[in-house]
Amino acid sequence: MFSIGEFSKATGLTVKTLRFYHEQGILVPSHVDGDNGYRFYAEAKIDTARVIARLRELEFSIAEISEIVGNYDDDGTILAFLESRKTTIQDRMRADRQLVLRLEQIIHQEHEANATMSDSNFSVEKKTLDTVLVAGVRMKGKYCECGSGFATIGRKFGRHVCGKPMLLCYDTEYRAEDADFEAAMPIRKGESTESIKVHELPAGRCLSLMHLGPYERLSRSYEKILRHAKENGMELQCPSREVYHKGPGMIFRGNPKKYLTEIQFLLKD
């Protein structure tokens, strides 16, 4: 066992510093004489003391050092523990680098979306819709699953389809997993089947807004049209309609930045 003075010489730490580390609980003596309070340190403490000194040189805080030393098992070596700690930090750094890349993508996409909305010449307008006969498949799930509904309609009414595909959204809120919607297509004529309902969408005045860009950014245009309605004291009806003027084709996905979707809300009288 080394006295505190001997331990000081062996580690290059002052007695004052050793007492401070004892008070902070990061380098506790192996034995403290009960009669006179003299501190004694086992030889195994030397590596720990030197590591603490190096960590302080690297500007680790006392709290950080306390966490490191607190997780160190005296039965092992502090160096082995630090090797393990280094691996953990390297793993975290790799994860952080991936997070930075994802954040850069989000920042770029948000700047791009804001620029598109600012540069767009489209504004909310009031228009009158005529009654339209549609074939529709009512669905519950994710909005992106509507493609199967359009395919079902296309197979049954292909030659009678006479307009742009549309989505009727029956929810008054956004729902990610269990949205209530209807994939619909205007048709000249036809009869309902077990899975497809043929019915008329009513005529009426509506608020309309063209959205340019990916479907993932439709919420920005919904915000714009909803704000316009509130500012002008207008009440909107469900279902809202999304009319797909330009989107992915049956074979080629196309450029999502050029997708053109019209949002329509019928106005309450």
What is the token pair recorded at 150?
């359009």
pLDDT-derived band at 44 (thresholds 50, 70, 90) equals confident
What is the token pair recorded at 80?
């082995």
Angle formed at CA 267 by CA 264 and CA 269, multiple of 5 degrees = 160
In the chain, where the domains are located: 2-76, 125-266
Q: What does the pLDDT read at residue 75? A: 45
pLDDT digits (tens, 9 = 90+) for 70-95: 766 554 566 776 777 788 889 989 99
Strands (E), the chain: 2-3, 31-32, 39-41, 125-129, 132-141, 166-169, 179-186, 197-201, 204-212, 240-246, 260-266
Whether 2-76 shares its CATH topology with 125-266 is answered no
Q: What does the pLDDT read at residue 69? A: 75
Q: DSSP string of 224-267?
A: HHHHHHHHTT--B-SSEEEEEEE---SS----GGG-EEEEEEEB
Task: Specify the higher pLDDT residue, 78 or 44.
Answer: 44
| Domain 2-76 class in CATH | mainly alpha
CA distances (Å), 201 to each of 3, 48, 179, 241, 264, in order? 92, 78, 20, 10, 12
Q: Is the pLDDT of residue 234 over 50?
A: yes
> What is the C-alpha to C-alpha distance for residues 181 and 170, in angstroms, rounded to an integer?
6
Nearest Cα neighbor of 223 from 68, 77, 117, 65 is 117
Compute CA 37 distance to the chain's CA centroid, rounded to the nearest angstrom: 57
Q: What does the pLDDT read at residue 122? A: 80
> What is the C-alpha to C-alpha distance for residues 60 and 31, in angstroms, rounded to an integer?
27
| Domain 125-266 class in CATH | alpha beta
> What is the C-alpha to C-alpha distance for residues 135 and 188, in angstroms, rounded to an integer?
10
Write the single-letter amino acid at 60.
Answer: F
Q: Are 218 and 242 in contact (CB under 8 A)?
A: yes
SS3 147: helix
pLDDT-derived band at 180 (thresholds 50, 70, 90) equals very high
Which range is most confident: 16-25, 45-54, 225-234? 225-234
